[in-house]
Amino acid sequence: MGSSPFRCVGSQLHRERDGGDQTTTTTTGGKKMPVRVVESNAPAQVSGRDPGNRSPLPRSSLLAAGQAFSGTQNVSNQQKEEAWRVNVQIQGVDLEHGYLCGTMEALNVPMADTPVITFWEGEIVDGKNYTFYTGKWEATREDDMRHWSKFPSFAPLQGQVESDGGRQLDLSNYPYIFMRWKEQYFVNVGTDCGLTIAGFYYVCFSCSDGSISGFYYDPNSSPFQKLELKTVNEGRSGFSFSSYELQ
């Protein structure tokens, strides 16, 4: 979620059954949230899809259902200085299809009387399901490169990404996982919360320590709002797409 000169308008997520996809629900703050469950024989619904085979990304115990993160989002620029605390929890992960989802809670947000919770869905850049080029959400390839290049861990990959979007990169042993997180709707607030979810996050996850850094992109919001998160050692709750179990 980003700071915006406009009032936010909640966007309810509607997911239809398509090509074998199913919908289950999890609950946060008393509201049921749809979560995609993809059957193993269903085609991936992706942008920038490469039909070639790719090794799966490295599994990390810190990028798993129920894992919690805590940190800040800083929206300071030349006109204003503003930051708020952020909590994130992963609700589901499906590495095979490059998908994950979770909730984000923003605290001490100006103009908001209560913490603001959103439900988001993520795309994992793996060269198979998704590439580094977004291809939607008003993001051009130039926007993509400006944001990815802000991550030091992206520097060794930049030349290949500029050439073909990173389709030929083998990321299976790379110590970082790159993602896009797109908030789908507000969980606990109305349309006057003072935030927007029109944009999305470019995200970099460290497989070694679970730290997350990100930058929010929305043409109508303050540019390069920085997200910084660390893992929180709490009891996990959530579900895994591989087992289709609710815990």
Average pLDDT for residues 6-15, to the nearest whole number?
32
Lowest mean pLDDT among 11-15, 175-179, 186-190: 11-15
Q: Is the pLDDT of residue 5 over 90?
A: no
Average pLDDT for residues 189-198, to the nearest whole number?
79
Residues 114 and 195: their CA atoms lie apart, in Å, by 12
% of the chain residues with pLDDT over 90:
51
Q: Is the pLDDT of residue 24 over 80?
A: no
Lowest mean pLDDT among 36-50, 147-161, 208-222: 36-50
Residue pLDDT, tens place only, 48-72: 444 445 555 666 788 999 999 999 9
88 to each of 9, 126, 138, 165, 228, how far by Cα in Å? 21, 22, 25, 28, 11
Average pLDDT for residues 162-170, to the nearest whole number?
85
Lowest mean pLDDT among 43-47, 75-79, 95-99: 43-47
List the domain boundaries for the chain. 2-13+26-37+71-233
Average pLDDT for residues 235-240, to the nearest whole number?
46
User: DSSP of the chain, one letter per residue?
Assistant: -EE-SS------------TT-EEEEEEETTEEEEEEE--TTSPP--SS---S--PPPPP-TTSSTT-EEEEEEE---SS---EEEEEEEEEEEEGGGTEEEEEEEEES-TT-SS-EEEEEEEEE--SSS--S---STT--HHHHHHHHTTSGGGGGGHHHHHHHTTTT---TT-SEEEEEEEEEEESS--TTSSEE-SSEEEEEEETTT--EEEEEE-TTS-TTEEEEEEEE------EETTTTEE-
Q: Is the pLDDT of residue 167 over 90?
A: no
130 to each of 35, 125, 198, how far by Cα in Å? 19, 5, 20
Q: Is the pLDDT of residue 98 over 70?
A: yes
Residue type, 162: E
Q: Retrieve residue 229's tokens.
A: 């998160």
What pTM, to 2 d.p., does this model score?
0.76
Q: Say if CB 190 and CB 12 are below 8 A apart.
A: no
More confident residue, 95 or 167: 95
Residue 212 confidence class, pLDDT cut points 50, 70, 90? very high
